[in-house]
Structure 1
């Protein structure tokens, strides 16, 4: 049987908003009703996600788009030398309908990822939470009070969004050449 070859993932994906939040570092708490259903989980295989995230790393020059860290920088700072293809979402409300739309893919280092997902980071222990806070203040030039205010607002928004069921719009992954996992309907997935 001939091996299936997939076209390369484009560096610029149709409908991707590369300006969404620029290179800002912020806490991005995913609503509890969306936990476990990231865009990458609806793809037909791990290979599909690997192709897409490799493109994200390459177009960013294998450096964090937020702080500029490379894998080598992370090792010197005492972090695991990992980059992440972080999924940035916008949340749309039209009447009673709610849509969590994958809007951008960004290359983010582990240090910045710990800030973005500070809720998860806090479960790892005080050391991890402290270094995430330090990273957020360093990158954003914030004081502790400014960071606390940001985290309070992120939590407020999370509580509000967690009251709703969200449809997941991963059209961006389709535009990147991804294929939807057959039977993927744990919650409504938009793939247009």
Structure 2
């Protein structure tokens, strides 16, 4: 009898302890959404040298620091070794050193790694000014979430300037016919004088 009471008490205690858990499990749970997919785009994917790219990133963590790596392809062929020049057949020839002082410092190459700060919505917008032609691949990686996205753009040589075309030479029209008219008038007058002279000569002979 005493043992049965102990078993009944344990059963009741376990039921009471499990009731809140069961009640909580029965309540509807909030839906679990997958993490946002980050994206990285260029406002204009094709620019000319001297212009700037505009990068737009979304889907990163709120106020997250995002690192951006830049890979450049399609660069000119590597320069020959110092003190040599390259022939058309690909061979090199030694060159004498010549002292040269540039008028101004050469422009610094654009960085291949930099960071930006996302806003509270996980978005950012930043500009990048390339210093050489080629194809640029930008890869953004969130330093907290590890989310990553990439995009590519192309830098073309300097935009050509359109020179004004020279005026076309129009064919000569009535503006230059004065000389032919004068010549024709002179010939007509000479003919009239000869005709009058011939008539006068015939009258003299007949008279």
TM-score, normalised via structure 2 length = 0.21
**Greater RCO between the two (CA within 8 Å, min separation 6)?**
1
More helix by share: 1
More strand by share: 2
TM-score, normalised via structure 1 length = 0.23
